[in-house]
Amino acid sequence: MKTEQPILITSIQAPVDITKNLFIGFNGNICSANAKSLGVSNADTDADEQLPVMAVGIALVYSGAAVSQGNKVASDASGKAVNYSTGDYNGYALDASTGADELIRILLV
């Protein structure tokens, strides 16, 4: 079983409905592809509510494709973790995934 280890959780107003375990941008929306994230959504949150965001720690994040353990990871356009190739990265994969929609541990940076 994979577990997360939150060190710092902050909150931001969610402009839209947000699902848990996705990268979140500094505006409260799902993080854009290859953009720096504020952190990872820590709960399913309705629009206009306060969204808890893990900013520091080890977070569980959905993969957007196969991810290699130990690689830098970036956000895809859906806020999911993918292997870093360009832009900003948001952490390191502590687990590998074989495809999309697998929960993997990410060491946030």
- Which has the closest alpha carbon to 5: 75, 94, 88, 66? 94
Q: Would the pLDDT of 10 be above 90?
A: yes
**Residue 73 near residue 63 (C-beta atoms within 8 A):** no
Give the strand pairing for 39-41 and 5-13: unpaired
- For the chain, give the percent of residues with pLDDT over 90: 99
Give the Å distances, CA to CA, from 23 to 44, 55, 61, 97. Answer: 13, 10, 7, 17
pLDDT at residue 54, as a whole number: 98
- DSSP structure string for 2-16: ---EEEEEEEEE-SS
pLDDT at residue 103, as a whole number: 98
Q: What is the pLDDT of residues 32-79, one digit of tens each?
A: 999 999 999 999 999 999 999 999 999 999 999 999 999 999 999 999
Q: Would the pLDDT of 107 be above 90?
A: yes
DSSP one-letter code for 30: B
Fold of 1-109: Virus Head Decoration Protein; Chain: A, (2.40.300)
- The residue extents of the domains of the chain are 1-109
pLDDT at residue 1, as a whole number: 86
This prediction has a pTM of: 0.97
